[in-house]
């Protein structure tokens, strides 16, 4: 313990001496501060080897540099604003172009849809018209048709010496394929001829003669012209004569042939026709010939 005290004594003495020196220095400094010292000499200040020397133009140079820096910053700001404005305008223009392109696409799609609908309508109309034309060409009965007509029956040759003009009724059923120029037809005809006096000028008058015939024929279609459908018909069949050659004469059945033609006109599935044929029948003696002229109607 005593050793520690002995060691501390020199430290305490050193501290006391130091405090005294410091107090004296402070007193001297107070005395100096009371006297004003003025110096007119400029002391240059050096900072780490760099000598700063102030001159009259230094402040002007700093101001110019500062103004240039501010101007450069303003130019940069204006350029940035202009760039942003251009980008904004470009974005607006791009959006407008996209909008216009979308509107154009929608309009094209609408027009295409309208065009497709119109084309479909035209195709449907064309298909319906084609179907109607084909149905008209083929007919309601797929090539089959029926005739009903009547008219004048005129005897010719030796038959004309005994009988005057009479009348005729004809019914027919035929089949004429649309793809072919040829067809077939079956007729049932009835002709009534007016009897005349025989010999001529005498009081003896023949009874009216009747001819009932069943015929089979071939028809030939001629190309349509001027709205008319001409055709040729020819064939043969069985003819049954009644009251031919005077009262009390027996009926007879004979074979004969015929050839003629006609014109069919009109539209739709019903048309009119006019037809004439030359009938030749092998009766005893001279052949009996007559010509019916028929006006009738066709259903097909």
Half-sphere exposure of 218 (CA within 13 A, CB side): 5
Q: Which of the two residues, 97 and 251, has the higher pLDDT score?
A: 97
116 vs 8, which has greater pLDDT?
A: 116
Statement: residue 31 has pLDDT above 50 = no
What is the sign of the dihedral through the CA atoms of 71, 74, 78 and 79? positive
Domains plus CATH for the chain? 144-299 (2.40.160.20)
33 pLDDT tier (thresholds 50, 70, 90) = very low
**Averaged pLDDT of the chain:** 81
| Average pLDDT score over residue span 74-93 | 93
Q: Which of 11-20, 68-77, 133-142 has the highest mean pLDDT?
A: 68-77
Mean pLDDT of the region 108-129: 92
HEC letters along the chain: CHHHHHHHHHHHHHHHHHHHHHHHHHHHHHHHHCCCCCCCCCCCCEECCEECCCCCCHHHHHHHHHHHHHHHHHHHHHHHHHHHHHHHHHHHHHHHHHHHHHHHHHHHHHHHHHHHHHHHHHHHHHHHHHHHHHHHHHCCCCCEEEEEEEEEEEEECHHHHHEEEEEEEEEEEEECCCCCCEEEEEEEEEEEEEECECCCCCCCECCCEEEEEEEEEEEEECCCECCEEEEEEEEEEEEEEECCCCCCCCCEEEEEEEEEEEEEECCCCEEEEEEEEEEEECCCCCCEEEEEEEEEEEEC
Question: For the whole prediction, is pTM greater than 0.75?
Answer: no
Average pLDDT over residues 93-115: 94
How many other β-carbons are positioned within 10 Å of the β-carbon of residue 181?
12
Q: What percent of the chain has pLDDT over 70?
A: 72
pLDDT in tens, 204-238: 677 788 999 999 999 999 887 777 889 999 999 99
258 φ/ψ angles, rounded to the nearest 5 degrees: -150, 155
Give the pLDDT confidence of 40-56 residue by residue, as tens digits. Answer: 555 555 555 444 455 55
């Amino acid at each position: 313990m005593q050793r520690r005290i002995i060691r501390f004594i020199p430290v305490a003495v050193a501290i006391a001496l130091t405090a005294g020196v410091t107090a004296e220095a402070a007193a001297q400094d107070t005395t100096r501060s009371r006297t004003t010292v003025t110096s007119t000499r400029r002391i240059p200040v050096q900072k780490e080897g760099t000598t700063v020397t102030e001159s009259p133009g230094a402040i002007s140079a700093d101001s110019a540099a500062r103004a240039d820096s501010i101007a450069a910053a303003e130019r940069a700001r204006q350029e940035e604003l202009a760039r942003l404005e251009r980008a904004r305008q470009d974005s607006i223009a791009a959006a407008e172009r996209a909008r216009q392109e979308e509107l154009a696409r929608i309009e094209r799609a609408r027009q295409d849809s309208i065009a497709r609908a119109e084309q479909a309508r035209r195709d449907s109309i064309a298909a319906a018209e084609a179907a109607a034309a084909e149905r008209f060409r083929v007919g309601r009965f797929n090539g089959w048709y029926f005739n009903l007509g009547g008219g004048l029956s005129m005897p010719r040759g030796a038959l004309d010496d005994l009988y005057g003009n009479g009348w005729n009724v004809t019914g027919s059923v035929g089949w004429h394929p649309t793809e072919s120029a040829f067809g077939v037809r079956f007729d049932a005809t009835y002709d009534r001829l007016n009897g005349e006096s025989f010999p001529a000028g005498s009081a003896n008058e023949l009874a009216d003669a009747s001819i009932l015939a069943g015929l089979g024929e071939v028809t030939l279609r001629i190309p349509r012209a001027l709205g008319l459908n001409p055709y040729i018909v020819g064939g043969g069949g069985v003819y049954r004569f009644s009251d031919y050659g005077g009262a009390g004469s027996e009926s007879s059945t004979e074979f004969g042939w015929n050839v003629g033609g006609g014109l069919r006109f009109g539209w739709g599935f019903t048309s009119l026709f006019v037809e004439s044929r030359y009938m030749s029948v092998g009766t005893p003696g001279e052949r009996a010939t007559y010509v019916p002229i028929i006006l009738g109607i066709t259903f097909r």
